[in-house]
Amino acid sequence: MEQSEKERLAASRVDAGTVTSMLKRIIAENGREHVKGYAFAISCLVLVALSTAFTAWIMESVVNEAFANKRADLVLLICGSIFVAFLIRGFASYFEAVTLSKIGNNIVAVYQRRLYDHLMKLSVGFYNESRSAHLAAQISQNVNGIRDVMNLTITSTSRDLLTLIALIGVMISKDWILSLIVFFVAPPLLYALRYVSKRLRSATRESVEFNSHVVGAMQETIQGISIVKAFTMEQELSRKVDSIIGSAENRANRIARLSERTAPLTETFAGVAISSVLAYAAFRSIYNDVPPGAFFSFVTALLMAYDPARRLAKLQVNIERAVVNARMIYDLLDLQPMQREHPEAKDLVITSATVELRDVVFRYGPNEPVLRGVSITAEGGKTTALVGPSGAGKSTIIALIPRFYDPAEGTILIDGQDIAKVTKASLRNHIAYVSQQPYLFEGTIRDNIRYGRPAATDADVEQAAKLAYAHDFILAQPLGYDTPVGENGVTLSGGQRQRLSIARALVRNAPILLLDEATSALDNESEAAVQKALETAMNGRTVLVVAHRLSTVVKADKIVVMAEGRVVEEGSHEELARRQDGLYARLNNLQAPN
């Protein structure tokens, strides 16, 4: 069952056990797919580690042979080997970085596709409970978490850990007593870093949430900018967004303080270690006349070990931050669609396209039922109109037929087949739908009409536009059918958008046509034109139409009158209009011209 947004957030808290399980899952899902690429990157990182350790190791020969013993015959050999080591390190670093970037970009692309495909499987109810702007912002911020976990794991274990181990080996081989001095101060540092990572966990989660709210609020403002300006909401929204931004800034500052606490800890560790080593080596050289070569090699290894040690010290902090982001992505991917296909679902077979509702009860969440035992039969090839006051449940019926929702009780049948037991794809392929609020997608006018049937030819698209009385205004656009519509058709009027929506439904050429206030956004002239087009398009189809203006449904074969979630009257316009005490007659009299 799909969870509410609050439930998902509560379930996605990250603890230490979650970090381990998430790491295992991410590696299991992505490691095998990119095993060759990671193997190559790891081999490059091994070369980086070995060349770095070699540079420290050879310092003893540089100091003792070149400067103390003045062996001119060895200078070229030593310098040449150092050059080769740096050359290998440079190319290995380049190939490793490019390889991991390509793998990381592929991981992001794969998860973006997975997320999109999975979101398409979730029900309309899920989107009613989730703010679209918040959801989009959350996805865009968190999808990189999977990539970061993999890259951090590979680079830290193959480069930083191997480099550190190799340099520690050099340090021990040169002077084990100095090495003990360095290791003596390491345990307190590790304990302090563990404490910081625990504090950072909750702060990271809160930061992601607040940042998604910031992006979401800005996106909603941009989408509704005309309403914002019309109602002079600028100052009020600015105060609201300012508060959200302030909270996000505070969380980001807290993360910065916690994350960067590793800097004074590691710097203190480095200061104590290096100063202790220098003091010991200096006194030993002064009083025991020990050659300085081994010491310089040791110090070089110690200084080179600082960067990988510092990165490893921050590894847990960075990993946990990436895991928080990754977990939020998996929270979405792990959501099970509420409307699962029946185990024995078959394709819908259309004969007459008769739609029947039997004792249907439906409610949104825990609220009171919107439909209370509704039984309606829309005969195949005929037009059935649903009328009644607002809140009667008319649009809910339209939403139940394509299974945007499932009824709590009762059955919906098409040609005697329970729609809960047929595949959703085959069900929706036989339905064309026009909603109250026409929605246009990014692209051209032609693209938006063709969404109704991707295989439609240009001639099919133009014929549907003519039937919807959209052809003339389309040709008046700068590029005709190839004119971009702007975000949600912002460059078109409400009536033009609705006619394109109707054209999209007509090009589908489906046997069942659902019209949910399809002419609500049209002026009287456009409504009359589209009404004629719809009358032509309705021929031979099963049509269920919701209308508030009764003048648009007077020619319907059957009119179903609803009130408070129940069917209260049925009949033709003439039959219902004659019942002076009926609801339809009262509505008809109210809308009759004076």
The CATH number assigned to the domain holding 215 equals 1.20.1560.10
Q: Which of 528, 496, 501 is nearest to 513 (CA)?
A: 501
Classify each residue of 17-35 as buried b or exposed e, where b means 16 or more C-beta atoms within 10 Å of its C-beta: ebbeebbeebeebbeeebe
- Does position 276 have pLDDT exceeding 80, yes or no? no
Q: Could you tell me the residue range of the domain that residue 253 belongs to?
A: 5-333
At 185, the pLDDT band (50, 70, 90 cuts) reads low
**Of the ranges 278-282, 304-308, 374-378, which one carries the lowest mean pLDDT score?**
278-282
Is 476 inside a domain boundary? no
Most confident of 311-325, 347-361, 518-532, 580-594: 347-361
pLDDT the model gives residue 6: 44
pLDDT, one tens digit per residue, over 63-76 is 777 666 777 777 78
User: Mean pLDDT over residues 378-399, rounded?
Assistant: 90
For residues 494 and 502, is the Cβ–Cβ distance under 8 A?
no
**Of the ranges 215-229, 294-308, 426-440, 495-509, which one carries the lowest mean pLDDT score?**
215-229
- Does position 108 have pLDDT exceeding 80, yes or no? yes
pTM above 0.85, yes or no: no
Is 506 inside a domain boundary? no
Cα 256-259-262 angle, rounded to 5 deg: 135
- In whole angstroms, what is the distance from residue 313 CA to residue 268 CA? 13
**Looking at this protein, which amino acid is placed at residue 480?**
G
User: Mean pLDDT over residues 83-93, rounded?
Assistant: 90
Neighbouring-strand partners of residue 44: none
**Of the ranges 123-127, 275-279, 377-381, 520-524, which one carries the lowest mean pLDDT score?**
520-524
pLDDT, one tens digit per residue, over 330-361 is 888 888 777 778 888 899 999 999 999 999 99
- In whole angstroms, what is the distance from residue 565 CA to residue 572 CA? 20
115 or 286, which is more confident: 115
Is 564 inside a domain boundary? no
pLDDT the model gives residue 355: 95
pLDDT the model gives residue 567: 92
- Number of separate domains in the chain: 1
C-alpha distance from residue 357 to each of 400, 407, 431, 433 (Å): 10, 10, 16, 18
- Please state, as a whole number, how many other Cβ atoms lie within 10 Å of the Cβ of residue 418: 12
Q: In Å, how far from its chain's centre is CA 185?
A: 44
In this prediction, what percent of the chain has a pLDDT beyond 90? 21
pLDDT the model gives residue 148: 83
Is 239 inside a domain boundary? yes
- In whole angstroms, what is the distance from residue 472 CA to residue 42 CA? 63
The two three-digit tokens of residue 419, written as one number:
């729609």
Is 340 inside a domain boundary? no
pLDDT the model gives residue 77: 85
Those residues whose C-beta lies under 8 Å from the C-beta of residue 272, and which sit 6 or more positions away, are 185
- In whole angstroms, what is the distance from residue 578 CA to residue 347 CA? 43
Q: Average model confidence (pLDDT) for the chain?
A: 81
At 10, the pLDDT band (50, 70, 90 cuts) reads very low
Is 153 inside a domain boundary? yes
For residues 325 and 209, is the Cβ–Cβ distance under 8 A?
no
At 234, the pLDDT band (50, 70, 90 cuts) reads confident
Is 409 inside a domain boundary? no
At 587, the pLDDT band (50, 70, 90 cuts) reads confident
299 or 568, which is more confident: 568
Instruction: Classify residue 429 as left (phi > 0), alpha (psi -120 to 50) or beta.
Output: alpha
In this prediction, what percent of the chain has a pLDDT beyond 70? 82
- Does position 576 have pLDDT exceeding 70, yes or no? yes
pLDDT the model gives residue 176: 78
**Looking at this protein, which amino acid is placed at residue 31?**
G
- In whole angstroms, what is the distance from residue 529 CA to residue 13 CA? 56
Is 252 inside a domain boundary? yes
